[in-house]
Chain A
Amino acid sequence: MAILSKEEAKKILDKVIGFSKADGVEANLNGNDGGNIRYARNSVSTAGEDSNVSLSVQTYFGKKSGTATINEFDDASLEKVVRRAEELAKLAPENPEFLEPLPQQTYGAESKTFIESTAKITPDYRAQAAADSIIPATKKDITAAGFLEDNRGFSALSNSKGLFAYNKSTGVDFTVTMRTNDGTGSGWVARNFNDISKLNTTEASQIAMEKALQSRNAKAIEPGKYTVILEPNAAADLLGLMIGGMNARQADEGRSYLSKKGGGTKLGEKIVDERVNIYTDPWNEEVPVGNWASGGMSRKKMDLIKNGTVENLIYDRYWASQKNAEPTAFPGNRIMEGGNASVEDMIKDTKKGVLVTRFWYIRAVDPQTLLYTGLTRDGTFYIENGKIKHPIKNFRFNESPIIMLNNLETLGKQMRVASGGGPGGGGSSLIPAMKIRDFTFSSLSDAV
């Protein structure tokens, strides 16, 4: 049941629209089949599968709207959910920011978001992924803990203005942590794909084990400003927070890092190094996403930062109507242009620096300057004269991605990483490794 075809979804949604007696109606039909396996202490701890389809109906009278959802799809249930949404709309207070749904939009070509082989992942596949970590770990005095989560799903949207949109997608997310049994070394690897054939759990587990073994008996070095080489997962965490904050309304209201002194926004201003180019593109082959977003808005390829300059801000439909601007569909992916250098090349080219596998527990400290704090984790190494010299104890950082991207030295090769929330949750990003000078580490942590 969970994956309905375009025709099956449209048939249900047409009935929903037909049942409505309100001024207007918008209906979203979403389905998801997923599975996961979790392991720790070299043993499987939990595993499960889940399947659900849910219909959400929003009706409105003037500027009063109400939403109801249901997971049964016979005619009586469909009519019931519409009536309930109408009752809620009548009870609701007016929302002055309510906008009627969009008419039919023109969408670009379908994006390759659904891969048949990913949709066919079985419990056996997941158990093998766990075994690919656990069996080699036990042979090397290492303890494996990991999580694999996969999903296949569809989304369909229809409204009383005649709009219909449909997309289906697959995704898989794999993370593994390897810890040496003496407790002094830890390594981590994350992989995120919509095509399962690109996932090699044996290779990922091997890298995590190597990092664990190499990170044993880390030495403490003084906190301070260091040149860092951030692997793509580390860089993506901070960049994601910066891109996620490119909301036009917050900037216009004066409470964003993109607000300008004296009023207005930094749209059109250069805020980071001119080699920084960040954009969204639903049709990118590495990180494909659906060609429409919430409310049926059409997604397009769009620059966010071009040559270091703020090229676009994200306007929701209401704020766009207030500011006479074009509304922007929320980006489904984030792509930062990279270079040709591998992490190894960047290490060779570094006199003194720190290699960071990942960051952990990143929290906002000051939204004005986009200052964040967090820590390095699961593989932090000191580089001297072009070589990894030794593992080092983890650091706490206090740094702003804006300052970081102004201190850019080198851009490396891109890699697909999860933007958070699992395979279908937070979308995916294509982010390069990067070398940054004067990155601020403010204290040491004893954590392994």
Chain B
Amino acid sequence: MKRRDFIYLSGLGAAATMLPIPMMGNAIDPGRALETVDVALKKQLADVALNAARSKGATYTDVRIGRYLNQFVITREDKVQNIVNTESYGLGVRVIANGSWGFAATDKLDKDSIAKAAEQAVAIAKENSRLLTEPVRLASQKGYGEVSWKAPIEKNAFEVPIKEKVDLLLDVNGAAMKSGADYITSLLFLVNEQKYFASTDGSYIDQDVHRIWPAFFITKIDKVSGKFETRNSLSTPMGMGYEYLNFRPQDKIKGVTTLYKGRYDMFEDAKAAGAQAGEKLKAKSVEPGKYDLILDPSHLWLTIHESTGHPTELDRVLGYEANFAGTSFLTLDKWESKKFNYGSKLVNIVADKTQLGSLGAVGYDDEGVQCGQWDIIKDGILVNYQATRDQAHILGLNASQGCCYADNWSSVQFQRMPNISLQPGKEKKSIDDLIKGVEKGIYIIGDGSFSIDQQRYNFQFGGQLFYEIKNGKIVGMLRDVAYQANSQEFWNSCVGIADASDYRLGGAFGDGKGQPPQSNAVSHGSSTARFNGVNVINTARNL
């Protein structure tokens, strides 16, 4: 059992009053994050585990040597709250013995400790096989030999001096306060996964993954009424280096508020947010009823994640998550029928582990499968799921789809979500074109409250900014908005998707699944899209 420590950030915007950030590993000097481990040494260590497991009777073994680096820089208003650098380094070994999986891990990287971990994994596999109903069937996988993959970043964020990051965040806070915010917490969260994988199939894979998440949380208070409103940043976590913060004019989409495509102007967004939090306090409370929704990619990513990403996870469909995350309404019979109408004909949703700048991008997954892309929903029909090597046979596949991931060397890898994205509309169409056609609607920007049932039918989502649309025009801001729908009905109400020029990524660092829980970073792309006749509720209450 790997217990996670959490840094709890108190005093964030009230919408995120307690933001848990997993602190996985030991606190280190920032300079140590720039050191790397020699690949030849990692191969030697991996071979120790492979040989030890084989000698104890394992029929398959894979080894992951992981160095997981995190950096957090956290500020509020005019002060630095915390700067934390962490490192977690160790080895996990997974085996099949007597037809069952076994796993063990160690942070002691001497040969004896590694061999002992491999032997323990075999012993656990044998113990687990006592209640086995069906032996593991692993899809065949060729060995790649010694290969490597590096995230194509322009600037390693760990190389940027802490002072530069602190100055940026304090400037951002200053801009927000000047434009009307009463409180702001801002942060930079950086990740570098240095992962080495080796297996008895003959693969030795060295990978270097980088992720970045700049974010802020603003609160504005109306002292007279005692009401308060929040506005969170419109940034998204990305699989990028520090270049994500070096914005260019072509990365901005101008409209009712500035939207960001691939690069992010944190200062500009904070300035807008300070003013918008004040506007939200004065906005009209929404009249509940049916509305046509225009959903921005900064919002729609979360709806895709919850209503398409999770129900197409094959482990959920099969029942492996029944005691925790739940099962899925997208049962195998619906897939087998080849005519389950998940969405309208416009809806094409693709799984992709290779997308540049995305959180899920890697060369190979955590069981040594080279990554690619495949259709999940094709012209509105459910055509596929997300599978690992031991699940591929269930879908009649000869090879895994490369969806295996562990959040740490000490966690056992299992099926996790790849990037799952809505494809842009094929006809030339802008955000304005979509808004123009709406008689009574709401344009929603940014992600907010989110909740969905354990089989992924019924959901409710909020947002950051809500604009009322009347007769094709934005007429003002709304508040107290949330929409509820059934996943299948919602996707069948999709009547318009902007073209590829509007396509943007959203995503999250901390998608949770499994017991003990593990987190997964995943992106979801889309262009702005229109959904007709969605049920909107008013969330205002009086205490």
Contacts and interface: CB of A to CB of B under 8 A. Distances in A.
A127 B482 CA distance: 45
Interface stretch (B26-34, B467-475, B495-503): B26-34
Given A245-B17, A443-B484, A44 B1 contact: no
Interface in B217-270: 219, 221, 223-228, 230
Interface in A398-448: 398, 400, 402-403, 422, 424-425, 442-448
A15 interface: no
Nearest to A445: B458
Contact of B29 (A32, A87, A316): A87
Contacts of B450: 363
B134 A375 contact: no
Contacts of A377: 453-454
A250 B322 contact: no
Nearest to A131: B131
Contacts of A136: none
A295 interface: no
A71 B410 CA distance: 15
B104, B228, B458, B539: residue with the most chain A Cβ atoms closer than 10 Å: B458
B227 to A, nearest CB: 6
B453 A368 contact: no
A49 B1 contact: yes
Interface stretch (A107-115, A193-201, A253-261): A253-261
Contacts of A93: 80, 83, 166
A247 interface: yes
A175 to B, nearest CB: 6
Interface in B174-190: 182-183
Interface in A93-118: 93, 95-97
A54 interface: yes
Contacts of A70: 26
Contact of B17 (A149, A250, A444, A447): A250
Interface stretch (A35-43, A156-164, A297-305, A334-342): A35-43
B493 to A, nearest CB: 16
B147 interface: no
A254 B228 contact: yes
Contacts of B430: none
B508 interface: no
Contact of B133 (A43, A46, A71): A43
B453 A360 contact: yes
A67 interface: yes
Interface stretch (A4-12, A139-147, A285-293, A349-357): A139-147
Given A84-B29, A254-B221, A364-B15, A446 B457 contact: yes
B131 A44 contact: yes
Contact of B79 (A38, A95, A422): A95
Contact of A396 (B226, B230, B321, B460): B460
Interface in B44-88: 79-81, 83-84
B103 interface: yes
B515 A48 contact: no
Contacts of B335: none
B482 A447 contact: no
A123 to B, nearest CB: 6
Interface string B301-344: 00000000000000000111111101101010000000000000
Given A363-B449, A363-B451, A366-B539, A259 B226 contact: yes
Nearest to A135: B131
A27 interface: no
A365 interface: yes
A132 to B, nearest CB: 12
Interface in B434-468: 449-458, 460, 462
A34 B26 contact: no
A46 B513 CA distance: 14
A83 to B, nearest CB: 11
Contacts of B451: 361-363, 373-375, 396
Nearest to B226: A261
Given A46-B103, A367-B15, A403 B455 contact: no
B3 A48 contact: no
A364 to B, nearest CB: 6
B256 to A, nearest CB: 23
B160 interface: no
B109 interface: no
A403 B541 CA distance: 9
Given A40-B322, A41-B320, A147 B128 contact: no
A113 to B, nearest CB: 16
A394 B329 CA distance: 14
Contact of A446 (B83, B134, B458): B458
Contacts of B15: 364, 367
B40 interface: no
B14 A47 contact: no
A37 to B, nearest CB: 9
A40 B226 contact: no
B26 A69 contact: yes
B3, B219, B480: residue with the most chain A Cβ atoms closer than 10 Å: B3
A255 B27 contact: no
A255 B183 contact: yes
B458 A123 contact: no
A176 interface: yes
A127 B28 CA distance: 39
A256 B26 contact: no
A367 B189 CA distance: 25
A56, A177, A402: residue with the most chain B Cβ atoms closer than 10 Å: A177
B319 A179 contact: yes
A376 to B, nearest CB: 9
Nearest to A396: B458
B103 A48 contact: yes
A147 B515 CA distance: 7
B1 A447 contact: no
A425 B1 CA distance: 12
B457 A447 contact: yes
B223 A97 contact: no
Nearest to A448: B455
A48, A56, A84: residue with the most chain B Cβ atoms closer than 10 Å: A48
A367 B324 CA distance: 26
Contacts of A361: 451-454
Contacts of A448: 455
Contacts of A69: 26-27
B449 A364 contact: yes
B515 A179 contact: no
B188 to A, nearest CB: 14
Given A245-B17, A403-B541, A40 B319 contact: yes
Contacts of B541: 366, 369, 371, 400, 403
B166 A371 contact: no
Contact of A424 (B3, B83, B223): B3
A143 B410 contact: no
Nearest to B225: A261
A71 B14 CA distance: 36
A400 B543 contact: yes
Given A50-B2, A69-B27, A442 B128 contact: no
Contacts of A207: none
B319 A145 contact: yes
B21 interface: no
A71 B221 contact: no
30 contacts: A38-B515, A39-B131, A40-B321, A41-B320, A71-B26, A84-B29, A87-B29, A96-B79, A97-B79, A123-B124, A123-B127, A127-B130, A134-B131, A145-B320, A145-B322, A176-B323, A177-B323, A360-B326, A360-B454, A365-B462, A366-B480, A366-B541, A369-B543, A373-B449, A375-B454, A396-B484, A443-B535, A446-B455, A446-B458, A447-B458
Given A247-B17, A367-B17, 16 more contacts: A34-B3, A46-B101, A48-B412, A68-B27, A93-B166, A127-B130, A253-B182, A257-B543, A365-B462, A366-B480, A370-B543, A396-B458, A403-B541, A443-B460, A444-B458, A445-B453
Q: Closest 6 A-B residue pairs measured CB to CB?
A: A261-B226, A34-B1, A445-B458, A447-B455, A447-B453, A145-B322
